[in-house]
Amino acid sequence: MSVPPRAVQLNEANAFLKDHPEVLYVDLLIADMNGVVRGKRIERTSLHKVYEKGINLPASLFALDINGSTVESTGLGLDIGDADRICYPIPDTLCNEPWQKRPTAQLLMTMHELEGEPFFADPREVLRQVVTKFDELGLTICAAFELEFYLIDQENVNGRPQPPRSPISGKRPHSTQVYLIDDLDEYVDCLQDILEGAKEQGIPADAIVKESAPAQFEVNLHHVADPIKACDYAVLLKRLIKNIAYDHEMDTTFMAKPYPGQAGNGLHVHISILDKEGKNIFASEDPEQNAALRHAIGGVLETLPAQMAFLCPNVNSYRRFGAQFYVPNSPCWGLDNRTVAIRVPTGSADAVRIEHRVAGADANPYLLMASVLAGVHHGLTNKIEPGAPVEGNSYEQNEQSLPNNLRDALRELDDSEVMAKYIDPKYIDIFVACKESELEEFEHSISDLEYNWYLHTV
């Protein structure tokens, strides 16, 4: 991926600054391994320099654990002197931050080697490497995300979240009430500001629905014919939601399972594939008879165990699974069936697509997309059959077989020969090292439940 010509980049900066003379600062953003946005804030007068020369950030930015500490076993920290790489702007991502009191813009960045080549450990580059394999086949990926989140109170109870009081009724919600319009009204100002803020930032968010738990909502992003751009939108949408909620004196969480006994937060991805003429190769009146669709699903299902560490990258991720919460725990597929891992919506022959329903909202969108597309390409090129679609409740027909904890998921990824063909083994090593470091710290902690159970009983 070459850096856009300097003149093109400067034209973008000049046009924006001319149209927005009020802007004082620009946030330069880059998403780390966990999808956490990091970067620098500059004054507007420095924007041209960023477009001309980029900015320096350490390579260790992509070796950070969830707490922002460098995991030295990755080899990206002290072993290389915590050396810098250079980050360049991503075209068409310069926009205003509508929540700021002091007019501020933002610009998404991606990391490169000093010589100009993309940096292998940037998750955006991990995805790009997979996408190039579709380019070689003359195929274009169309993709869109559905992102679930909770609004939560800014004040926790003993360190645990609670639903926020409604600005309308003053009450805290406690019931499920899926799709309830009245619950949208309870938080209408915040939710509407999210949609309007997305529009201002060019993020194609077209709907918000009430989800399956108190103050849980889902934002639907419209599909785009660029899977990398679809991930950019998902990363920026999360940041937008968090900051708009702060403006309304609320907090948010994309934690996979914030409440015991309630639904977790998912990150579903819809994928279709266009041929050179722009036609959807999955389109069919009878999806079961579409070979390309079957093979794509077959590849995803075969690689699903090895994908799990990217789809569910945290200890908490695996608490989300359960039949009552529509989170699939076995590699299966079906037509318009929400109990399976891979759902094929059947509303329109032209709109037939894959809906991947396994990942949590805590997943890094670039790594999620890379792993799913690796499975799709593997299935298409090897003509892998998926078996018969599941009819009815898949939880009653299939035993749980996907990894149900982070350690097993990391082993599956580390041992996968197929995933290593699509994702640089050096990157897999870095990812596994970071997550094993987090896991080790978690396993050495002592929970309140352990004290309650054992302190005075054994």
Return the CATH number at 376. 3.30.590.10
In a domain, 29, yes or no: yes
Least confident stretch, 230-244, 311-325, 330-344, 414-428: 311-325
**pLDDT at residue 175 above 80?**
no
- Are 207 and 300 members of one domain? yes
Mean pLDDT of the chain: 94
Tokens, residue 191: 């939710």
Tell me the percentage of the chain whose pLDDT exceeds 70.
96
Identify the band that residue 428 occupies on the pLDDT scale cut at 50, 70 and 90: very high
- Are 230 and 328 members of one domain? yes
Over residues 54-104, the pLDDT tens digits come to 999 999 999 999 999 999 999 999 999 999 999 999 999 999 999 999 999
**pLDDT at residue 254 above 70?**
yes
- Are 276 and 301 members of one domain? yes
The per-residue pLDDT for 1 is: 46
- Are 140 and 55 members of one domain? no
Q: What are phi and psi of 243, to 5 degrees?
A: -75, -35
The CATH number linked to 55 is 3.10.20.70
- Are 291 and 404 members of one domain? yes
In a domain, 152, yes or no: yes
- Are 98 and 169 members of one domain? no
Q: In the predicted model, what is the mean pLDDT of residues 220-236?
A: 97
- Are 144 and 42 members of one domain? no
Identify the band that residue 314 occupies on the pLDDT scale cut at 50, 70 and 90: very high
The per-residue pLDDT for 9 is: 76
The per-residue pLDDT for 6 is: 62
CA atoms within 13 A on the CB side of 193: 16
- Are 138 and 110 members of one domain? no
Are 352 and 293 in contact, with CB atoms under 8 Å apart? yes
- Are 101 and 146 members of one domain? no
- Are 113 and 150 members of one domain? no
H or E stretch including 435? helix 425-443
In a domain, 417, yes or no: yes
Q: What is the DSSP letter of 322?
A: B
Q: Which of 92, 121, 150 is the last residue of a domain?
A: 121
In a domain, 445, yes or no: no
Q: In the predicted model, what is the mean pLDDT of residues 214-231?
A: 96
**pLDDT at residue 430 above 90?**
yes
Range of the domain at 82: 5-121
Better-scored residue on pLDDT, 366 or 183: 366
- Are 270 and 402 members of one domain? yes
Least confident stretch, 108-117, 224-233, 325-334: 325-334
In a domain, 138, yes or no: yes
Q: Considering only CA atoms, which of 154, 144, 155, 168 is closest in space to residue 242? A: 154
Pairing of strands 104-112, 84-89: antiparallel
**pLDDT at residue 173 above 90?**
no
Q: Considering only CA atoms, which of 368, 327, 336, 374 is closest in space to residue 355? A: 336
Over residues 331-346, the pLDDT tens digits come to 999 999 999 999 999 8
Q: In the predicted model, what is the mean pLDDT of residues 140-155?
A: 97
- Are 97 and 139 members of one domain? no
Helix axes 365-382, 291-311, angle to 10 degrees: 140
Are 303 and 413 in contact, with CB atoms under 8 Å apart? no
The residues near 341 (Cβ < 8 Å, ≥ 6 apart) are 301, 304, 328, 330, 331, 332, 333, 356, 357, 358, 402
Domain count within the chain: 2
- Scanning 201-344, the segments in alpha helix (DSSP H) are 227-247, 291-311
